[in-house]
Chains A and B, each alone.
Chain A
């Protein structure tokens, strides 16, 4: 008898455990259904009477964005405005905003979701190589027909990073260019102007150093930070198109011109032009070194201009910051005005969003409201992000009131050509090698420019062979 009771009790325990789990689901469903009924009731009351009433049943879509942190508030405000407009246009739609750090989203969260097959409907996406890998696996929505329908397919200045086999799978939110930000107040106190020649630039660096100041901000804990300048230098010496030739085997990292670029960077490190101890500093400290007035120059992307606006960390330097491109180097190859520019970050949409008519309508509405002249201008004026779409020069001139932004646009206009950063041109293995090992070794004095070139070339050849 006792045995039976125990058996019975055990059975009850196990079944109740199972039922609790199932019951939870049922409850949720019940609640959802109830909520749905209530909401649709409200929506139905508010909806205007039409002949064929649109489906106003509530549905939710998620937008994974990376506008987290104080410096990205302006960009977040733009997104929120777009979200509001789309929600008005698509009856029943509620967007859930999911903010995640850019690197975490790119390298961990989105990849995991892609592998599991449940990415958000709209998400922050990197063009090359990410979007191509996802597109190849049919994880992304082909935007070509939508862009054609909206008539904006030819309005983007460059969609290459998001294009795979002739189809467009993502849209860049903006572009960026890289150059030197400089402290105008300091320059004025010395009676200097932005350098017109490379020799002048080097003289200024030496003079700043002699003056007891830090010539160049330095924060190389993450390899991509010093590589912005290094990339521009090797492209000056070896030509703007050299990086694109590494993957095809037409050029080598060990070519003398490329090595000359590394050598120049090393020379500046050895001369003490960068903030000492840079290998231990985060990117955030890079900006602080400049905004605090400790460093006089900072090589960075145009996105940094948003810091020099009211309420931001560089508020104290409003009107005191200038921007210039690296001057031509002696004996350099190719266009010496070429600027490093990228349009590699934007939005992508999950393939599943294309299967649901209402979700597809929401995607169209999102693209329409996000990718237009007004929003691109807002991005430029409020957030310092260069437009990804072609805008009329007169419109740009009329809207840019900020001195720094005017200088940035002037630099863009004065450069005859542009080239993308290395990480969108070479294989991931090469990017890992140069940004995690080689550039830090060069800065730390554990390698020579020649050896760095050779070691990179070795990895490049392995990566090239793997592709074949």
Chain B
């Protein structure tokens, strides 16, 4: 790319009104054909880079200093797609330019209707000198970008009675809005874009083989497609650490291997001499849990056995709840157990009465455990409740696999009835169903919502399953043997599959989150950073009692118990403290007395008022007594017990 002198020349090409056109700084940003901040930088992919197959390998592209531009070789030759994209990208700034010009015109004319754009229109007003303010305010930002960062509902200010409270709420709302906008603006600065896979017209993405993808991407990304042939200790369970840097393999015949899969360095490799049902990393890459035939064991990354948890026996599946420092295990005997591995205590043991628990998943958004049962139901569990929170009938036959996406909105299930179904967890209703030839045995959701399913030795990846009926798989790959474990690698476009003949790492463009947050999960963290992160994470360990279906509930006002509280208060006090007092007209003496000083007793002394009321009572008492003397006979029910004898003689 030749260096292009910025901006001023370019609108002359696309905009007819170029003469006095002054550009705003944000317009320069959306500048059409060639504005390129830095050559080769990760953010610098112009639309030219669009190719037949574009695959972006993630952070490695940073490491290897090879953006996905390196992948551009293949499809550039004839691509109509590329041209189209260029046009589109040209179109966008055009629009923006025109709009702002209209605003300028209106402002000059002095039309009253110019106010729609608010600050911008005001800024665009001409000055006396005839110059425009080149920086008339913040750049406009579209609402759907901001919406992603907004939380909860806005408070209804008009319903608030107290003026002071309303003011406070209003200022708080403003601050939240500002925070959301700033977060949305900061999104512009994110260095990476998610990868994608695009086929030429008429070609299907699911026909693209892994080898093709590996050939199209840069070397560093291509190195992430590999296969480990481990035929001896066969079928393997798989787990990645949360930053996605380390891989754990557990073969059914006792083989455990922990490795840094990117540099392919082995941390440890042991044989536990017992069959293994599942493996899981604990919160960091230093600890790993292995569910063996009898008990649950914890090893460190040197393969040293640290702990044998005999209370956790015949465990079939494990799920790590990282923010709670809990390891949830589902056992052959139908027990769901929670281990707090930061202190080594068993937090809860729940007898699910659901038979053998071979299907387990967690909702990453609220740490609820989903269990699949042989009668086709899925039950949702939290450690504090001994009954399932929700019980859903999902399939006609037994459940085989389930997975929940990162936002906790969608759940994919597979059953023996060969169906793959997607449920909406907000309404617990099915969204789509798909019949697979042999049914899916393992499911996994990626960070960006791709769904992987294995049936036999075929791995299929589906795209956009949550909002449309899937027809064809997005990608497909055939393994040498049937799959046994399936995990997407976080922050990488990689799908790890454990199978009877070892482990295969597949490239799935667009599956991983492109931009990591270093304070949450940093794939490049040093040892020191990891230790610091561990301390901080332990300090903010969420107690297990706070696992509920809606984790936001903790921040909301508990209105029901507030009502109860109020009622109790009314009962206790004998009056309603919130009730408004009756309006009492102010005592106003007309004119002043000669002395110029008057005393207004504010309230009658309590004693005086009591005395008055007592006198009144006395009077009232006397009156009925007088009435009583009249020949009117009271019914026996009304009289007191002491007078019981008298009444009969009276008349």
A, B in one complex = no
Give the interface of B toward A (CB within 8 A): none
Give the interface of A toward B (CB within 8 A): none
